[in-house]
């Protein structure tokens, strides 16, 4: 099945690929697509397939997967982190209390490739405070605050 899925995606036969993954558990879909990225020499078409799935049915998990693809195997592509920021913001709109997405915004704030105006200092301060209010022992925020202590 994985080989057929890879063939369908790489040949831009997204309709058939969508049928193949329709009833697949999301964690299996995510793992399979991540594997396919590496097995196909990081072919960007796999990310395009995720965008196709998002057009069929927008969801927080799919935006999260798109962000993961852009921040990991596709991070070397110009604009990948900007696109990851888009997916993170969309995921947060769909699931506003998701701490993982808020942590991702803190990570993206630190990415040198992103212009400073895309994530403002005031926004990350508020996000850090929101996370700490829900999880006072959050290590991601503590590490972030250590790096940017002059801003807090």
How confident is the model over 34-50, as pLDDT tens digits?
999 999 999 999 999 99
Buried b / exposed e across 53-86, counting CB within 10 Å, b at 16+? bbeeeebbebbbbbbbbbbebbeeeeebbebbbb
- Asked if pLDDT for residue 152 goes beyond 80, the answer is no
- Asked if pLDDT for residue 124 goes beyond 80, the answer is yes
Q: Report the C-alpha gap between 12 and 45 in whole angstroms.
A: 7
Gyration radius (Cα) of the chain, Å: 17
72 Cβ contact list (under 8 Å, min separation 6): 34
Tally of residues, the chain: 152
Q: Which residue ranges form the domains of the chain, and what is each CATH number?
A: 2-115 (1.25.40)
DSSP state of 66: H
Q: What confidence score (pLDDT) does residue 1 get?
A: 87
Token pair 């301060």 is found at: 125
Q: What confidence score (pLDDT) does residue 22 get?
A: 95
- Asked if pLDDT for residue 151 goes beyond 80, the answer is no
Q: With beta carbons less than 8 A apart as the criterion, state whether 92 and 63 touch.
A: no
- Read off the pLDDT of residues 47-104 as tens digits, 9 standing for 90 and up: 999 999 999 999 999 999 999 999 999 999 999 999 999 999 999 999 999 999 999 9
- Percent of the chain past pLDDT 70, that is, above it, reads 99
């Amino acid at each position: 099945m994985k080989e057929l899925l890879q063939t369908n995606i790489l040949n831009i036969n997204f309709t058939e690929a969508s049928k193949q993954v329709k009833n697949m558990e999301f964690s299996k879909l995510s793992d399979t697509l991540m594997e396919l990225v590496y097995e196909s020499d990081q072919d960007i078409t796999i990310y395009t397939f995720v965008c196709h799935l998002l057009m069929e049915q927008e969801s927080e998990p799919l935006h999260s997967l798109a962000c993961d693809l852009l921040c990991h195997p596709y991070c070397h592509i110009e604009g990948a982190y900007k696109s990851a920021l888009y997916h993170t913001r969309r995921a947060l709109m769909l699931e506003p209390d998701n701490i993982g997405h808020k942590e991702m915004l803190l990570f993206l704030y630190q990415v040198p490739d992103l212009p400073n105006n895309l994530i403002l200092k005031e926004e990350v301060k508020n996000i850090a405070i929101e996370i700490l209010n829900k999880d006072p022992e959050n290590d991601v925020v503590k590490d972030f605050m250590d790096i940017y202590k002059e801003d807090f």
